[in-house]
A and B are shown apart, each in its own frame.
Chain A
């Protein structure tokens, strides 16, 4: 008997346990064991997994990756406090981050320079052999970076003004909110995103430039941005983001997501944000135990979608537009006036929309209450958060039926500058020059 089937079977077991890591690494080296036909993984599956591991999303370009990139499966998000007061030191760190990101997004170690035995390794090592897994590293600048420390006050765009307290924000926790800088690392492997943030944080800490303020792992994609991607489900079991902006809808992206698209006029002092986008993150805790006792018809009333199919309550399939005017037999709206999809819909908000890129998260169990600590780590990109997210969330925070089962406990707002053009360029260079 050949061991071909055995090694593939072991590969699949390993893949299931470790995320889809190390396709090549599992392909050989296991002894002959009994294998049935049912154990055999088809060549095509192995090939697909290897291709997924090896896939590289270009880092250099006019716009940062990780916005319209087809959404990857895993997230690590991190917010930083800048500890230095020396703007030159901050700039150099952004230079280091860019050079490191360029390598890590190609699946390479931080540096290939030989490490001497009496020296800590350049790279922490846990990303070795994993592949790039479509890693993207997206960097943003928070409103606090534009205070009096670095002489950037007059470069702050009004779009970046901190929101203050929006309805529903009363339980936001400062230790899970804001930060001078943020990094969004997304990939199809959890260890790849962890490795990326860990090494970037190490470089920031090691130079005395910035320290980690808070961070969040997202274990599963909760929206889809690619035009061919299946709509995933959130932890409430509903299809979320069916009507999200798609990466091939250039006109909508230019109108709603990218700053200064198509040569739109911009103030000279804010020109550095052209081809950037504003990132809003929200850590939204779900009251899982309460939700799980809510009857199906109430759950469906809250979202105004059928749980099984994702179709709106007014009929059709998942991708059918909801009919907000439809009435039931008693003359009441089929889609509740405070249903989640109605309050958030472009139709009900003068056509405004945002690009959602959220992830399901869990922090395990809340040690104080014993309840599951889980929910949605919401991320959205937009051209102007003041007229987009803030307007939407003000409405949702007031009357969304979903509010009974969720709480916004953290997050923040960051300006993600345009892309890094090539070696020698770095994140936000135009802001500092």
Chain B
């Protein structure tokens, strides 16, 4: 079941809530992945995607007529490179490879005439290629061979989870840099509507991986501090003073330096996250730990309860629900990387949490508003009863999720 509506243009119509809840039929699918982005925006030669493919390479051709078509649509397990070519599908801007709720790999910002590549290590199972906005949005993709997860020991599964999560975080930060740069450009050009749109476009990428950013004690305050948390004598930097300028003062004036500094800080976040990923991949000290990912999943929901539900996060732009949804998606993705391991530890907890996420997402989706710039109802329009319904749905997911870290370290 999908709750994601496609967006027409990245940025203008942020109706894309982003929880891709695709229930694939395969049991115990364990997609191990290292989703690495490459060659974004490289120009595709006309008809370049029609030729034969090399072993381990899958051409995903996106056309107005047929939607997303993968050639071949069945591959043996192993390292697979996906070359996504948007031939002429104006409505499609992103493609995802999804395995049992988890985004194994994705490319954003696709346009007709361009191609983009990502690769992933895939174990046997059934996947879905999801192209929001295409004439046919979902196609099945099959990987033959061992569904390795079932046979491997728990330690290996947990290690794989950390690698998967590392890839997810790196992707989100690379996607984040694009709108942040656009926002800085717009601010320097004095283009208020463009700067506001870019702000809205950027926020979800950060909110999805906020626990990772928080693990760097200097960076998160520099990037995401709200005014009430600024210590005396410290400058207020990051997203929120920019938000105040763009949405309360309705001006780009004086924001140029803040926007430039934000780019520097996010690039620094990217470097540090990449170091974490590298350590995770090589198995050296200092990489992601599985229990941290579990804690992160729970933290994201705490974050919602603490600052989104109160309406503190986006006090000027009122796009709190967009952040809310991004926190939930980030939490779900963190949880989804742990699923294969959790299935061994406690088979009952996985369906329980998955269902809770489905319920929460459905509750949240009631507040979608395509006419709003963020794609969501402005937060000050919510009644107390609305907020209570959201909190109730949150708690149902948070309770079992908060127990996961402890189960992993047992």
Contact = CB atoms under 8 A, between A and B. Distances in A.
B113 A95 contact: yes
Contact of A118 (B5, B178, B186, B198): B5
Given A83-B189, A92-B41, A203-B9, A424 B370 contact: no
B5 A116 contact: yes
A160 B189 CA distance: 25
A96 interface: yes
A226 to B, nearest CB: 30
Contacts of B5: 116, 118-119
A148 interface: no
A25 B68 CA distance: 34
Interface in B139-176: none
A86 interface: yes
A282 B11 CA distance: 34
A208 B186 CA distance: 9
Given A112-B135, A207-B12, A424 B41 contact: no
Contacts of A83: 185-186, 189, 191, 194
B296 interface: no
A96 B90 contact: yes
B43 A432 contact: yes
A102 B43 CA distance: 18
Contact of A111 (B7, B64, B109): B64
A58 B133 CA distance: 26
Contacts of A100: 90
Chain B interface residue bracket vs A: 35 or more
Contacts of A98: 112-113
Interface in B195-229: 197-198, 201
A207 B13 CA distance: 9
A120 B44 contact: no
Interface in A83-119: 83-86, 88-89, 91-96, 98-100, 102-103, 110-114, 116, 118-119
Nearest to B181: A86
22 contacts: A84-B185, A86-B185, A91-B111, A92-B113, A92-B114, A95-B112, A95-B113, A96-B112, A99-B112, A103-B88, A111-B90, A113-B89, A113-B91, A120-B8, A120-B13, A120-B370, A122-B91, A208-B12, A422-B46, A424-B88, A424-B113, A426-B112
B179 to A, nearest CB: 8
A102 B178 CA distance: 28
Contacts of B109: 92
B87 interface: yes
Interface in B8-52: 8-13, 15, 40-41, 43-48
Contacts of A207: 9-12
A421 B89 CA distance: 17
A102 B46 CA distance: 14
Contacts of B138: none
Given A92-B114, A96-B90, A426-B112, A118 B47 contact: no
Given A98-B113, A112-B135, A424-B45, A103 B191 contact: no
A423 interface: yes
A118 to B, nearest CB: 5
Interface string B308-319: 000000000000
Contacts of A92: 41, 109, 111, 113-114
Given A86-B182, A120-B370, A99 B90 contact: yes
A183 B205 CA distance: 34
A425 B135 CA distance: 21
Contacts of B107: none
Contacts of B6: 113, 116, 119
Contact of B197 (A122, A208, A424): A208
A98 B87 CA distance: 11
A260 B188 CA distance: 39
Contacts of B44: 424
Interface in A200-227: 203, 205-208, 211
B12 to A, nearest CB: 3
A208 B12 CA distance: 8
A422 B10 CA distance: 25
Which of A110, A111, A425, A433 is most buried by chain B, counting CB atoms within 10 A of its CB?
A111
B102 interface: no
A424 B46 contact: yes
A33 interface: no
B165 to A, nearest CB: 28
A75 to B, nearest CB: 24
Given A112-B135, A114-B135, A206 B11 contact: yes
A220 B173 CA distance: 52
A429 interface: yes
Contacts of A110: 90-91
A119 B16 CA distance: 9
Contacts of B182: 84, 86, 89, 208
Which of B45, B85, B92, B185 is most buried by chain A, counting CB atoms within 10 A of its CB?
B185
Contacts of B194: 83, 208, 211
A429 B113 contact: yes
A425 B46 contact: yes
A113 to B, nearest CB: 4
The 6 closest A-B pairs by CB, nearest first: A206-B12, A95-B113, A206-B9, A99-B112, A92-B111, A424-B46
Contacts of A103: 64, 88, 90
B90 A424 contact: no
B13 A425 contact: no
A118 B8 CA distance: 12
Contacts of B188: 85
B91 A433 contact: no
A93 B12 CA distance: 14
A211 B197 CA distance: 13
B134 interface: yes
B240 interface: no
B171 to A, nearest CB: 17
Interface in A155-210: 203, 205-208
A116 B137 CA distance: 12
Contacts of B339: none
A111 B185 contact: no
Contact of A208 (B63, B88, B92, B198): B198
Contacts of A429: 43, 113
Contacts of A84: 182, 185
Contacts of A421: 46
A433 B178 CA distance: 21
A205 B133 CA distance: 19
Interface string B67-98: 10000000000000000011111111000000
Interface in A265-314: none
